A = this chain, B = another copy of it.
Amino acid sequence: MSAIHPATAAPATARDALLCRVEDRLRDLLATEASRWSAVDPRAAVPVEAVAALVGAGGKRLRPAFCLNGFLAASGDPAREPVAVDAAAALEVLHAFALLHDDVLDDSPLRRGEPTAHERHAAAHRAAGWAGEPRRYGEGVAALAGDLAHIYADRLVSELSPAAREIWHELRIEIMVGQYLDIRVAAERIADPELSRWIAVCKSGRYSVHRPLTLGAAIADRLDLAAAFERYGAALGEAFQLRDDMIDAFGDSAVSGKPTGLDFAQQKMTLLVALAMPRDERISRLLAGQSAGGATLAQIITDLDVQGEVERRIDHLVQQAQAAIAEVPIDPAWRDELARFAVQVAYRQK
A residues sitting closer than 8 Å to B (CB atoms) are 33, 37, 40-41, 43-44, 46-47, 101, 104-105, 107, 125, 128, 130-132, 136-137, 139-141, 143-144, 147-148, 150-151, 154-155, 158, 162, 165, 169, 172-173, 176-177, 179-181, 183-189, 195, 198, 266-267, 289
Partner of A46, one of B46, B150, B180: B180
Partner of A155, one of B107, B169, B180: B169
Is A158's CB under 8 angstroms from B151's CB? no
Q: How far is the CA of A183 from the CA of B130 in the complex (A)?
A: 11
Indicate whether A148 sits within 8 Å of B176 (C-beta atoms), given known contacts A131-B187, A132-B186, A267-B131: yes
Q: List 17 A-B contacts (CB under 8 A).
A: A37-B177, A40-B177, A41-B195, A41-B198, A46-B180, A47-B177, A47-B180, A104-B140, A125-B187, A130-B187, A131-B188, A132-B186, A141-B183, A143-B143, A144-B179, A158-B162, A158-B165
Tell me the smallest distance from the CB of A74 to a CB of chain B, in Å. 23
Indicate whether A151 sits within 8 Å of B176 (C-beta atoms), given known contacts A125-B187, A162-B158: yes
Q: How far is the CA of A143 from the CA of B267 in the complex (A)?
A: 22
Indicate whether A183 sits within 8 Å of B137 (C-beta atoms), given known contacts A41-B195, A151-B173: yes
Residue of B nearest to A175 (CB): B147
Is B139's CB under 8 angstroms from A180's CB? no
Partner of A150, one of B33, B104, B147, B177: B147
- A-B contacts besides A131-B187, A131-B267, A151-B173, 15 pairs, CB < 8 Å: A43-B184, A101-B144, A104-B140, A104-B143, A107-B136, A130-B188, A131-B189, A132-B183, A137-B183, A141-B180, A148-B176, A151-B172, A151-B176, A154-B154, A158-B162
A176 neighbours in B (Cβ, 8 Å): 47, 144, 147-148, 151
A195 neighbours in B (Cβ, 8 Å): 41
A43 neighbours in B (Cβ, 8 Å): 180-181, 184-185
A37 neighbours in B (Cβ, 8 Å): 177
Is B289's CB under 8 angstroms from A131's CB? yes
A44 neighbours in B (Cβ, 8 Å): 177, 180-181
Is A187's CB under 8 angstroms from B147's CB? no
Indicate whether A181 sits within 8 Å of B140 (C-beta atoms), given known contacts A132-B187, A150-B147: no
Partner of A105, one of B104, B131, B136: B136
